[in-house]
Structure 1
Amino acid sequence: MPVRITLGAPRFKLPYTLTHSVRELAPKKAYFGKPLPEFTAAYRADLDRLGPARIAERLREIVNVELEHRLVLLCFEDLSDSAQWCHRRVFAAWWQDATGDEVRELGPTMGPYEQGRLL
């Protein structure tokens, strides 16, 4: 089940429907364009304030509506380009630190969501 975790929608057509969005996991505009170390510190602080229990609760709401436990958290940077980075990976590292659970990244050949990556 694709779930958008961005402030805005993608600027290109997707081969799937984005029914759900968890804006709480989107980085804030105030630090979005900052260098990666500054961005990471600010985003992780936001995640700390939100907390893993609230995030899990929000994702569980989607699971309960869709009756689908496999969520694919999406933003739309192309991580095959080494010059790009994305808050999905910052979130994944934070989630593993906070919960001990690993968050896998879907590659382009791993599933139907080539424009977005698994989180």
Structure 2
Amino acid sequence: MITLFTNRFQGFRPPQGVPVRITLGGVRFKLPYSLTHSVRELAPRRDYLNAAKPEFEKAYRADLDKLGPERVAALLRRIAEAEGDHRLVLLCFEDLAAPGLWCHRRVFATWWREVTGDAVRELGPGGAYEQGVLV
């Protein structure tokens, strides 16, 4: 079993679960935690990375559909088993605090809920994790 959450690199805290990078590029700043896991298959491709939201979402979801929920689950399950923790937090750079902002981690979350029925809660501001407590 895996339980998925999303957050940004700067907002993640170890009590939230296991941090997992889902970006093309690595983090170029100091993090107050160890980031040892990455699932590059969940990163958007460069050819549509800077596209407008409708085009980006269509291309990214096509990539996710091609990968399929079984393969995604297998990739994530390996991390959960290695860490002994079912809570995985998929991380990228975007700050979603302001209304109207979006990023691929939330597009993934919507896709995952549609194909598996499992919700993926955002742990950043206004998300499921406020003041150190899951709500």
Q: Could you say whether these structures have the same fold, taking a TM-score greater than 0.5 normalized by the shorter chain as the test?
A: yes
Measured after TM superposition, the shift of residue 103 of structure 1 is: 0.7
Cα deviation, 1:66-89, whole Å, max 9, x if unaligned, reads 111111010010000335321011
Aligned to 2:42: 25
The alignment status of 1:65 with 2:65, answered yes or no, reads no
Which residue of structure 2 lines up, in the alignment, with residue 94 of structure 1?
A: 111
Partner residue, 1:117 = none
1:3-18 map, 5 Å: 3-18=20-35
Q: Secondary structure at the match of 1:2?
A: strand
Compare 42-51 and 8-17 and name the one that shifted more.
Answer: 8-17
Task: Check if 1:35 corresponds to 2:48.
Answer: no
**Residue 75 (structure 1) aligned with residue 111 (structure 2):** no
1:38 to 1:87, Cα distance in 2 relative to 1, 3 A: same
Larger % of strand: which?
2
1:65/1:43 CA distance change after superposition, 3 Å: same
Q: Secondary structure at the match of 1:71?
A: strand
Name the amino acid aligned to 2:86: H
Higher relative contact order, chain-length normalized (CA < 8 Å, sep 6+): 2
Tell me by how many angstroms 1:64 deviates. Answer: 1.2
Deviations 1:9-56 (A, max 9, x none): 123221111100000000000000000000000000000000000000
Runs of 4+ in 1 over 2 A off after TM superposition: 81-84, 107-113
Give yes or no for the alignment of 1:85 onto 2:134.
no
Structure 1: gaps spanning 5 or more residues: 114-119
SS in 1 for 2:20: strand
- Cα distance change on mapping 1:76 and 1:42 into 2, 3 Å: same
* Cα 1:111–1:59 shift into 2, 3 Å: farther
5+ unaligned residues in a row in structure 2: which ranges? 1-17
